[in-house]
């Protein structure tokens, strides 16, 4: 195990420098078996079904709307990995296009963003890469009306009923549990998906602000920085115990009631220092100053401290990491906020690259572009 070096003595939480390789290779999007697949018809206008044109299954076959006749290609499987499948092939946006009117077709499943779909609580089927909806051409319910992607309008020609049991995107976390497991194949069991989802209730704007693309980019950015901080979610606490006594600032009026060596790094962004435990605890309504061990014993609390920093602290930068992503400043500014004084402006390019690499992998899993301004 790598030890985390001492932190600076400034009044902002600074990230530890880690350069760790995640155990095992990242699995491809189509490389995991989903825990629960939903299978059945997808219906749209006039209660009609979508299927492969003419019942064909060749690559490039258009997907169109026609009466539900029991055609095998009108039976779709949604395995929970973001794909929609029939006849052993995937629903695909032609050429990974992003413009209105781009054809939707069948194609060999290949794990690309063109084959990622989210069924929203509003019954839209959204391709996050294009940030557009599955749409019936001309708003028509006539048999053999072809599908396309189009800017989401809320119109009836973009509303779809999918098989019972299909995971939906209710406007909450945009990362499925299967995708989370792909991102962190070697994670410590402490860092549970359910703990993260529970923690998000404390910060409901996290990964729910902006377009479908922006929401997924923010989730990828947070998890990429977490990946770097914890060696792929392997480490719950700081590994170098010799550093533990360094994180008590007796100059604070509340002191260190849990003890001189109680405020070492814990959790997904390695919360450390008594003043950070006090600030995080006050914000979350939890007495972390007296009981900092909650961060290493309760997964939801651990995740909450990471989200607290992400959503509220400007750290070593000029904006919160949340604002950097939803405001279009880019992933590089999240690095500056978390550890800019030690990594940015050429101070440690290898650490910056580690974060960028993880972010690019995670955006690929979520089917969205990484965007601009990746470096700081």
Cβ pair 215, 208 in contact under 8 A: yes
Q: Is the dihedral of CA 171, 228, 196, 316 positive or negative?
A: negative
In this structure, the strands spanning 132-136 and 85-86 are unpaired
Distance CA 347, CA 345 (A): 6
Helix/strand/coil for 291: coil
- Using alpha carbons, list the distances in angstroms from residue 373 to 85, 98, 257, 300, 333: 35, 21, 42, 31, 8
Cβ pair 68, 47 in contact under 8 A: yes
Active site residue 238: no
Active site residue: 218, 229, 238, 343, which one? 229
Runs of H (alpha helix) within the chain: 177-183, 193-199, 212-230, 274-284, 294-297, 299-312, 321-326, 331-343, 349-366
Tokens of 201: 């209730």
Cβ pair 113, 360 in contact under 8 A: no
Quick one: residue 47, left, alpha or beta (phi over 0 = left, psi -120 to 50 = alpha)?
A: left
H/E element, 92: strand 89-93
Tokens of 60: 């490039």
- For 126, residues 6+ apart whose C-beta sits below 8 A from its C-beta are 117, 118, 119, 120, 132, 133, 134, 152, 169, 212
CA 204 to mean position of chain CA atoms: 14
Cite the active site residues.
Answer: 229
């Amino acid at each position: 195990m790598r030890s985390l070096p001492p932190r600076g003595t400034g009044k902002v939480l600074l990230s530890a420098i880690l350069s760790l390789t995640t155990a095992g290779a990242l699995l491809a999007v189509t490389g995991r078996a989903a825990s629960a697949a939903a299978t059945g018809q997808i219906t749209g206008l006039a209660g009609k079904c979508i299927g492969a044109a003419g019942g064909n299954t060749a690559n490039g076959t258009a997907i169109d709307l026609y009466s539900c006749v029991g055609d095998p290609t009108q039976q779709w499987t949604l395995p929970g990995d973001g794909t929609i499948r029939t006849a052993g092939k995937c629903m695909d946006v032609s050429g990974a296009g992003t413009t209105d009117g781009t054809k939707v077709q069948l194609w060999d499943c290949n794990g690309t963003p063109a084959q990622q779909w989210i069924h929203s609580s509003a019954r839209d089927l959204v391709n996050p890469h294009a940030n557009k909806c599955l749409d019936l051409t001309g708003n028509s319910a006539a048999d053999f009306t072809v599908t396309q992607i189009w800017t989401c309008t809320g119109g009836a020609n973009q509303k779809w009923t999918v098989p019972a049991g299909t995971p939906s995107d209710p406007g909450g976390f945009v990362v499925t549990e299967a995708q989370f497991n792909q991102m962190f194949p070697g994670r410590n069991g402490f860092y549970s998906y359910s703990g993260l989802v529970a923690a998000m209730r404390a910060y409901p704007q996290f990964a729910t602000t902006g377009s479908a693309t922006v929401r997924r980019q923010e989730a990828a950015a947070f998890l990429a920085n977490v990946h770097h901080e914890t060696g792929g979610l392997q480490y719950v606490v700081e590994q170098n115990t010799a550093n533990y006594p360094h994180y008590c600032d007796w100059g604070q009026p509340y002191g260190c009631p849990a003890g001189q060596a109680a405020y070492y790094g814990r959790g997904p962004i390695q919360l450390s220092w008594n003043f950070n435990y006090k600030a995080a605890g006050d914000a979350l309504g939890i007495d972390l100053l007296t009981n900092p061990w909650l961060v290493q014993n309760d997964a939801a609390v651990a995740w909450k401290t990471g989200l607290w920093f992400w959503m509220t602290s400007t750290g070593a930068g000029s904006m919160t990491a949340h604002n950097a992503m939803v405001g279009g400043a880019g992933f590089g500014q999240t690095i500056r906020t978390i550890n800019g004084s030690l990594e940015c402006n050429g101070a440690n390019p290898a650490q910056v690259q580690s974060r960028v690499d993880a972010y690019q992998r995670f955006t690929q899993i979520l089917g969205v572009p990484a965007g601009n301004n990746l470096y700081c």
